[in-house]
Amino acid sequence: MSHSINHSMSQSMGKSKNQSASHSLTVLKFGGTSVQDALAMQDLVRIVATRKGERLVLVSAMAKVTDQLVELGKSCASGDEKAVQAVVNQLWERHQSVARDLALTPGQQEPLRRLFDQLRALSNSLAILGEVSARSLDDLLSFGELASSRLVCGAFEQAGIPAVWADSRQLIRTDSRFGSAQVHWEETGEQARRVLQPLVARSIVVAQGFIAADGDGVTTTLGRGGSDYSAAILGAVLSAGQIEIWTDVNGILSTDPRRVPEAKTLRRIHYAEAAEMAYFGAKVLHPATIFPALQKRIPVWVLNAKNPADPGTEIVYDTSSVDLCGVAFKTGVTVINIHSTRMLGAHGFLKSVFDVFALHELSVDLIATSEVNISLTLDRQVPANLVDRAIVDLRKISEVDVASGCATVSVIGRKIRETPGLAARLFGEIKDINVRMISMGASELNISFVIEEEHLNSVLRRLHRSLIETGQSG
């Protein structure tokens, strides 16, 4: 997040006139697996019912639905009408069967039916055009959250708990950067308070994560995995008492349990460490989530909807948390090595390199430089065609080689700076593996390095065993 955004956010949060604090409000966000079927939705209803005070529930699309909608977009773009119909029918069947399992009345199912009529009309016309803009894709993707939230609202009603449905496009205002829209904080604060405060005072409110709208009311999205961010945005502008991120694991763990089964829950973790874990790839939390909560010092909990008795992770501002908290990673990373003897003793070369990245709107993750080399990494989210175009431009000023299929591994925690010999121990554990690049010191909280993706599981297991499991984490 850039400083200017941080600045405008804190300003608008700080100066708002009619901002009444609603410390009794709990924002609860449920991810895709936590709404994957009728049983999961009924669990959600039980969890929300255990909470007291005002409650705003934000839901993701049902598990895998956003991926299917992305595929639907591709079929529309290639004009494959058969494939388009097949996907829409499949999605309709799945949502219908959940509606049946929840025993929703025809009246309760009506909004869902209308939604799918719109989805059918939209995807048919896009398939005829054979073109899907970023704007149309956001429109398509929004159907996942719009549909799941209708079902969840029905699940509350069926359980005899009054709930009202709200449209997040009338709550969160963004710019028109489709696919990863930036929040307009002031308007969001005003709209969200105006629309939501009377509603949450009366009953539970169910709205969508991930989706928002620009100044013209056109649907935008906050980027993949962005529902966590929605919870933080609305929690912050409404001055919520707490934000709960309900997912499918027992909180933030020391690493991804899918790759290292010994990963353990971090019970209390500092905002800065949670943010660092998220920035460097821990998928459990969208990287933008922490900052709005930090601005307002709102406690954030990460909890397991499949195991609500587990206390999960509490993210707090003041804590003597563990010193070495975890190992995060990113896959699908591209490393670009730029070599030029023109760099030697010259000024302005770095600028010309970064001008190329700025021109193609590419955001660089890690950087290491020497007298005549610059190595940097790009995230998997970066579109390949943009990378190709940037490389053409870089080759005009330097020699360039590119390696795809890499992974960054980041060891995160406050102990990193203070522990003599930590880097030696870390790299000693993986001395048989080729490390392409190392970045340390830019942040006090991490050491990051790049390896080939095929070694990732082995590296994660070894580092976890030697740095985390042995109690070196303090």
Residue 168 interacts with, from Mg ion, ligand ASP, ligand ADP, none (CB under 5-8 Å by kind): none
From candidates 26, 32, 394, 450, binder to ligand ASP by CB under 6 A: 32
Residue 312 interacts with, from Mg ion, ligand ADP, ligand ASP, none (CB under 5-8 Å by kind): none
| Candidates 6-14, 59-67, 248-256, 265-273; binding stretch for ligand ASP (CB under 6 A) | 59-67
Q: Locate 425 and state its tokens.
A: 């121990």
Buried (b) or exposed (e) across 274-300, using 16+ Cβ within 10 A? bbbbbbbbbbbbbbbbbbbbbbbebbb
Sequence-distant (6+) residues with CB within 8 A of 383 are none
Find the shortest distance in angstroms from Cβ 143 to ligand ASP.
Answer: 11
Find the shortest distance in angstroms from Cβ 159 to Mg ion.
Answer: 25
Q: How far is CA 12 from the centre of its chain?
A: 23
Size of the site for ligand ASP (CB under 6 A): 12
Size of the site for Mg ion (CB under 5 A): 2
- How many H-runs (helices) and E-runs (strands) does the chain carry? 14, 16
- How far is Cα 352 from Cα 355, in angstroms, rounded to an integer? 5
Within residues 118-147, the interface with ligand ASP by CB under 6 A covers: 144
Q: What are the backbone angles phi and psi of residue 460, rounded to the nearest 5°?
A: -60, -45
**Is the torsion defined by CA of 336, 342, 347, 352 positive or negative?**
negative
From candidates 28, 32, 325, 406, binder to ligand ADP by CB under 6 A: 32
Within residues 13-52, the interface with Mg ion by CB under 5 A covers: 31
CB atoms within 10 A of CB 18: 9
**Nearest alpha-carbon partner for 414 in 292, 304, 274:** 274
Query: Is residue 69 part of the contact set for ligand ADP (CB under 6 A)?
Result: no
Nearer to ligand ADP, 108 or 247 (CB): 247
Nearer to ligand ADP, 36 or 174 (CB): 36
Q: Decide if 390 contacts 362 (C-beta within 8 A).
A: yes
- How far is Cα 252 from Cα 255, in angstroms, rounded to an integer? 8
Within residues 258-277, the interface with ligand ADP by CB under 6 A covers: 258, 277
Residue 287 interacts with, from Mg ion, ligand ADP, ligand ASP, none (CB under 5-8 Å by kind): none
Query: Is residue 209 part of the contact set for ligand ASP (CB under 6 A)?
Result: yes
**Nearest alpha-carbon partner for 185 in 218, 234, 139, 145:** 234
Sequence-distant (6+) residues with CB within 8 A of 131 are 77
| Candidates 48-56, 107-115, 145-153, 248-256; binding stretch for ligand ADP (CB under 6 A) | 248-256
Nearer to ligand ADP, 78 or 381 (CB): 381
**Is the torsion defined by CA of 455, 457, 460, 465 positive or negative?**
negative
**Nearest alpha-carbon partner for 364 in 336, 344, 343:** 336
Find the shortest distance in angstroms from Cβ 37 to ligand ADP.
Answer: 14
Residue 282 interacts with, from ligand ASP, ligand ADP, Mg ion, none (CB under 5-8 Å by kind): ligand ADP
Torsion region of 371: left, alpha or beta (phi above 0 gives left; psi -120 to 50 gives alpha): alpha
Find the shortest distance in angstroms from Cβ 245 to ligand ADP.
Answer: 7
Q: How far is CA 262 from the centre of its chain?
A: 24
**Nearest alpha-carbon partner for 8 in 137, 165, 185, 166:** 185
- How far is Cα 240 from Cα 363, in angstroms, rounded to an integer? 32
Within residues 191-230, the interface with Mg ion by CB under 5 A covers: 225
Q: Locate 16 and state its tokens.
A: 């708002």
| Candidates 138-146, 255-263, 384-392, 453-461; binding stretch for ligand ADP (CB under 6 A) | 255-263
- How far is Cα 13 from Cα 347, in angstroms, rounded to an integer? 41
Residue 292 interacts with, from ligand ASP, Mg ion, ligand ADP, none (CB under 5-8 Å by kind): none
Q: How far is CA 213 from the centre of its chain?
A: 18
Query: Is residue 94 part of the contact set for ligand ASP (CB under 6 A)?
Result: no
Query: Is residue 366 part of the contact set for ligand ADP (CB under 6 A)?
Result: no
From candidates 22, 33, 108, 334, binder to ligand ADP by CB under 6 A: 33
Find the shortest distance in angstroms from Cβ 32 to ligand ADP.
Answer: 4
Query: Is residue 73 part of the contact set for ligand ASP (CB under 6 A)?
Result: no
**Is the torsion defined by CA of 40, 49, 115, 107 positive or negative?**
positive
Residue 144 interacts with, from ligand ADP, ligand ASP, Mg ion, none (CB under 5-8 Å by kind): ligand ASP
Query: Is residue 235 part of the contact set for Mg ion (CB under 5 A)?
Result: no
Query: Is residue 225 part of the contact set for ligand ADP (CB under 6 A)?
Result: yes
**Number of residue whose CB is nearest ligand ADP:** 31
Within residues 348-407, the interface with ligand ASP by CB under 6 A covers: none
- Strand order across the 373-378 sheet: 364-369, 373-378, 326-339, 399-412, 446-452, 437-440
Residue numbers of the site for ligand ASP (CB under 6 A)? Answer: 31-32, 60-61, 66, 144, 209-210, 224-227
Residue numbers of the site for ligand ADP (CB under 6 A)? Answer: 31-34, 60, 225, 247-249, 252-253, 255-258, 277, 282-284, 326
